[in-house]
Structure 1
Amino acid sequence: MTVEYEFLEQIFGPFISSKKKPREIYHYTDIHGFKGILENKAFWISHIDFLNDMNEIKYTLGLSREIMFSFCEKYGLSESETESIMRDYDMLITLYFEQEKKNCYSLSFSTNPDSNLLWSNYSKNDGYCIKLDLNKLTASFKKAGLNVIVSQVNYDITQQKKLLEPVLISMFYTIRTLNGKSVDFNEVLAKSPSDNKTEAPAADLEVILDEAIAEILQNDASAVDLEEVLKKTAEKISKEKVSATDFAEIYKELSERTYATILLGSLELVNYISIFFKDVCFAQEEEFRLAIRNIETYQCRISNGTFIPYIESKFDKKAVLGVSIGPKNNMDINLEGLRKFLKLVDIDISSDEIKKSSIPYRF
């Protein structure tokens, strides 16, 4: 796991969900999925765009758009300025989330060990539920070099908006600063903070510019007049620290890199957060989600006449803590057959962790 994802998880994890991270998580599946997972000691992790809830990312983007519009109202912008800012915002979202699509793969679990809803939805009531050790499972994926981020899914719209507002405010002020300047957002988003280094004096200026950007982001990224902040910062650099460098050149580079850093950073955070936000209508799933980012190599499986991109990731067999049998599977030989299968695939589970669902069925 890279430092980037450790930082995101540490900083935003507690805000995405206030619930304590569980030790055990549960995966519901039918008998065929169960056999494949334990036989191969691997999960198939599907691309997030192909999950059951087709509007997951769109749900968070919808909330984000509402918040951006509320900022326009809060600061008394005119109708024409509001339309222009919202148009630029929509353009950035399209560029980042559609034209430059991010590859994210997601694996769903639940914190509920015996859910009537999940037995019905994912195992036809006669499948299996695998109890897993969260730390051992994620350690296996990280060992394979995957960028793993995990969190409870948040279904509370009030909390969701509260988290998105500070992420989006700097983006709002940056768009407002650039509004009406015929900015090519393709070029802005393509500009890395390390691009276009000034030549004189290169080494010192690079450090100073990075420090200046960090200071702006920490203290003044949400200032109403971001342009004025940038001008003052550029003047300070040119007069006090690198007087040999032209002010206009410093201001141009500082502005471009600051805009790129704010916009890209905000979009990246919205993308990260959107993985763990869902509509309240899904709250009964009590979902705990594991997501893996920036994957280019994948395979495809077939489901309901559709090709579903997925990646396969192995896990340590010690991550498996227990197995429950679905509530409708009442055959006497089922439990013994399960024990035989677990022995065959070398999964060692204590006898008290092999159990039947406690949900009563009359048929």
Structure 2
Amino acid sequence: MKLTDIQPKEIDTQNELRYLISKLKNKKKIKSLYHYTNIYGVEGILKHKELWLSDANFLNDKNELLYTYNLCKEAISDICGKDKGAFLDHFKDVIESEALKKPVYVMSLTTNSDSNLLWSNYTNNDGYNIILDHKDLFKESKIKNYHLLKFPVIYDNQIQKEIISELMCKFIGVMLYFQKFDKSNPNFITKWNYQFKVIALFVKILAIFFKDSCFSQEEEYRIALLPETWLTDYLDYTCRISNGSFIPYLTVPIHDKKAIKGLTIGPKNNMDIAKDGILKFLEINGYDHLDENSVNKSKIPYRY
């Protein structure tokens, strides 16, 4: 689409959010999800029956967010051609605004049950992965003030560009709408701020579920908590310590213990007591639906 084809128009927030979510959905059936972690992560999740979702602003790799922002700028340039300047300048204001600093909380899982890469990156090869039931894990989770989003990460650059191009057309349409808006109208500033905060939110959602194809081996599946009211501040998080920093996070309760389907022991963990120990831990924490067949060793041969 070209600039001349775009109609000046406000964004209908709820309809546009539903549409965006529909574009992120993957029709591929997922039976189980896996969370690779060390023994302390296993203890925390299974003992307290909760998952931790970290503030996306504290992700280890800020390039994850920049990757999507750059795709947005490319889309604006393609749509607007020689007239791109003002639109790019305003998009820069949007992504540098306070709105994009609003927290969206994220947890990374995967659909890969036994990945050499993930064992190495997240468990030093001697941790565990927790096997989670995709359907039962979040079906009763209702977090006050937040929407729960859960999708596989999209690595396909062509699909990413198509979704972003549609969103940037809407961003441009909003800019054109306000160019014709009566600036003396007392609602002008309120409407302007709201519309572009919504766009900032949508861009951030895409940044959470889009990654460069070079990371596709991770086969990542992400859980995100999205504020229901983007204009409101919620101080309902706590902080954990990671690599010498405090990381804000929220918790999601595991309502049904049967959402835990089992565990896999990392390839480097050759201690005979590892399986016996985890079975005792499961027993004292009430996971009576799991037995010795629910805990297995990785099939990856570890080379010293």
Pairwise same-fold verdict (TM > 0.5):
yes
Kept after mapping to 2: 8 A contact 1:170/1:262? no
- Offset of residue 14 of structure 1: 4.9
The residue type paired with residue 274 of structure 1 is A
Cross-structure match for 1:343: 283
Of 203, 219, 238, the match for 1:299: 238
1:274 aligns with 2:207: yes
Q: 1:27-176 counterparts in 2 under 5 A?
A: 27-73=35-81, 77=82, 81-95=83-97, 97-98=99-100, 101-142=101-142, 146-176=146-176
Taking a change above 3 Å as real, the CA distance of residues 105 and 188 of structure 1, as seen in their structure-2 partners, is farther
Cross-structure match for 1:284: 217
Whole-angstrom CA distance in 2 between matches of 1:117 and 1:346: 32
Taking a change above 3 Å as real, the CA distance of residues 189 and 307 of structure 1, as seen in their structure-2 partners, is farther
Kept after mapping to 2: 8 A contact 1:153/1:277? yes
Taking a change above 3 Å as real, the CA distance of residues 179 and 358 of structure 1, as seen in their structure-2 partners, is same
Whole-angstrom CA distance in 2 between matches of 1:95 and 1:42: 32
Kept after mapping to 1: 8 A contact 2:143/2:252? no
Taking a change above 3 Å as real, the CA distance of residues 154 and 49 of structure 1, as seen in their structure-2 partners, is same
Kept after mapping to 2: 8 A contact 1:47/1:103? yes
Kept after mapping to 2: 8 A contact 1:24/1:133? yes
More helix by share: 1
- Offset of residue 263 of structure 1: 4.2
- Offset of residue 55 of structure 1: 2.1
Larger Rg: 1
Whole-angstrom CA distance in 1 between matches of 2:277 and 2:237: 34
The residue type paired with residue 34 of structure 1 is V
Kept after mapping to 1: 8 A contact 2:26/2:151? no
TM-score, scaled relative to structure 2: 0.83
Taking a change above 3 Å as real, the CA distance of residues 119 and 189 of structure 1, as seen in their structure-2 partners, is farther
- Offset of residue 336 of structure 1: 1.0
The residue type paired with residue 273 of structure 1 is L
Taking a change above 3 Å as real, the CA distance of residues 189 and 356 of structure 1, as seen in their structure-2 partners, is farther
Runs of at least 4 residues off by over 6 Å: 4-7, 180-184
Count residues with an aligned counterpart: 282
TM-score, scaled relative to structure 1: 0.70
% identical aligned pairs: 38
Gaps of at least 5 residues in structure 1 are 192-258
The residue type paired with residue 154 of structure 2 is N
Q: Deviations over 1:23-45 (max 9, x none)?
A: 31000000111111111111221
Q: Deviations over 1:140-179 (max 9, x none)?
A: 4327674210000011111101111112113213324555
Q: Deviations over 1:239-298 (max 9, x none)?
A: xxxxxxxxxxxxxxxxxxxx6776454433223222201112211110000000225311
Cross-structure match for 1:16: 24
Whole-angstrom CA distance in 1 between matches of 2:64 and 2:277: 38
1:310 aligns with 2:249: yes
Q: 1:195-210 counterparts in 2 under 5 A?
A: none
- Offset of residue 338 of structure 1: 1.3
Decide which moves more: 133-142 or 284-293.
133-142
The residue type paired with residue 135 of structure 2 is N
Decide which moves more: 137-146 or 297-306.
137-146
Whole-angstrom CA distance in 2 between matches of 1:127 and 1:319: 20
Whole-angstrom CA distance in 2 between matches of 1:112 and 1:340: 26
Gaps of at least 5 residues in structure 2 are 1-12, 228-233
Q: Deviations over 1:185-208 (max 9, x none)?
A: xx85633xxxxxxxxxxxxxxxxx
Q: Deviations over 1:24-70 (max 9, x none)?
A: 10000001111111111112211111122222222211111110111
Q: 1:347-358 counterparts in 2 under 5 A?
A: 347-348=287-288, 349-358=290-299
1:321 aligns with 2:261: yes
Q: Deviations over 1:199-255 (max 9, x none)?
A: xxxxxxxxxxxxxxxxxxxxxxxxxxxxxxxxxxxxxxxxxxxxxxxxxxxxxxxxx
- Offset of residue 320 of structure 1: 0.2
The residue type paired with residue 122 of structure 2 is Y
Taking a change above 3 Å as real, the CA distance of residues 6 and 118 of structure 1, as seen in their structure-2 partners, is farther
Whole-angstrom CA distance in 2 between matches of 1:347 and 1:189: 54
- SS of residue paired to 1:141: coil
The residue type paired with residue 276 of structure 2 is E
Kept after mapping to 1: 8 A contact 2:149/2:225? yes
Whole-angstrom CA distance in 2 between matches of 1:5 and 1:355: 44
